Amino acid sequence: MGLWSELKADVVGFVRNPTDEQKLLFVAVVAMAIADRFFYWIDWPIVVRTTAAVGVGFVILFLASYLYTGSFVPPDGDVDDEDEPPAYEDELDP
């Protein structure tokens, strides 16, 4: 398949049946757009306005993720139940 057909399939999949991550990212993008327009009326320079809008987007992303899942960090499936940390292994030293 070509690039355009894969892109079309992704867009159609997002519109018809979005995943949970896509829903949360969409909420963050909308929040960034709203924050950018709000900061535009305050008459901030474009660099400050854009940086602040991205910051607002991240905050909204984390809050929406917390409200949706009930935790800030998703549970890791391969964590041991033991309280002791795993032994250190140097990846560069064979």
Query: What's the pLDDT score for residue 34?
Result: 94
Contacts of 52 (CB under 8 A, 6+ apart): 35, 39, 44
Query: What's the pLDDT score for residue 22?
Result: 86
Residue labelled with tokens 């306005």: 49
Convert the pLDDT of each residue in 32-67 to its tens digit: 999 999 998 888 899 999 999 999 999 999 999 888
Q: What are the two backbone dihedrals, phi and then psi, of residue 23, each rounded to the nearest 5 degrees?
A: -65, -45
Q: How far apart are CA 59 and CA 67, in angstroms?
A: 12
Q: What is the pTM of this model?
A: 0.66
Q: For the chain, which residues make up each domain, given as ranges?
A: 17-69
Q: How far apart are CA 23 and CA 69, in angstroms?
A: 12
Reply yes or no on whether the pLDDT at 77 is more than 70: no
Convert the pLDDT of each residue in 9-23 to its tens digit: 888 888 898 888 888
Q: What are the two backbone dihedrals, phi and then psi, of residue 77, each rounded to the nearest 5 degrees?
A: -70, -25
Give, in degrees to the nearest 5, the angle at Cα 75 between 64 and 71: 30
Among the listed residues 60, 58, 39, 41, the one whose alpha carbon sits nearest the alpha carbon of residue 50: 39
Reply yes or no on whether the pLDDT at 8 is more than 80: yes
